[in-house]
Amino acid sequence: MSNDRPVYMGPRLRRLRRDLGLTQANMATDLDISPSYVALIERNQRPLTADMLLRLARTYRLDMATLASDNGSDTIARLQTVLKDPMFADVDMPAIETADIVNGFPGITEAFLRLYTAYREEHLALADQGAEGPGGESAPADPVAEARRFLAARRNNFPAIDDAAEVLAAAVADAGGLVAYLRERHKLRVRRLPSDVMGGAMRRFDRHRDEVLLDDTLDNASQTFQLALQLAYLDLRGVVDAPMAGSRFTTANGERLTQKALASYAAAAILMPYTAFARAAERRSYDVEALARQFGASFEQVAHRLTTLQKPGDNYVPFFFIRVDPAGNVSKRLDGAGFPFARHGGGCPLWSVHQVFRRPREIVTQWIELPEGQRFFSIARTVTAGGGAFGAARVERAIALGCSAEHAARLIYTRDPLSPGPDTATPIGVTCHLCHRTHCTARSAPPIGRTVLPDDFRRASAPFGFSDI
DSSP assignment string, 324-381: E-TT--EEEEEESS-----SSS---TTSGGGTGGGSTT--EEEEEE-TTS-EEEEEEE
Average pLDDT value for residue range 139-166: 87
Summarised one tens digit per residue, pLDDT across range 411-441 is 999 998 877 888 889 988 877 777 777 778 8
Phi, psi of 397 (to 5 degrees): -130, 165
pLDDT in the model for residue 383: 96
- CA–CA dist 128, 342 (Å, integer): 9
- CA–CA dist 100, 452 (Å, integer): 57
pLDDT above 90 for 316: yes
Summarised one tens digit per residue, pLDDT across range 22-73 is 889 989 998 999 999 999 988 878 888 888 888 888 888 777 665 655 555 6
pLDDT, averaged across the chain = 85
Average pLDDT value for residue range 292-318: 95
pLDDT above 80 for 346: no
pLDDT above 80 for 277: yes
- CA–CA dist 58, 64 (Å, integer): 9
pLDDT above 80 for 140: no
pLDDT in the model for residue 337: 72
- CA–CA dist 410, 421 (Å, integer): 14
If you average pLDDT over each of 6-20, 66-80, 224-238, 359-373, which comes out highest? 224-238
What pTM did the predictor assign? 0.73
How long is the chain? 469
Q: In sequence order, what are the residues at sequence separation of 6 or more whose Cβ sits closer than 8 angstroms to the Cβ of residue 101?
A: 79, 108, 109
pLDDT in the model for residue 6: 55
pLDDT in the model for residue 449: 64
pLDDT above 80 for 463: no
Lowest mean pLDDT among 216-230, 362-376, 386-400, 446-460: 446-460
Higher-confidence position of 74 and 347: 347
Lowest mean pLDDT among 160-169, 420-429, 450-459: 450-459
pLDDT above 60 for 308: yes
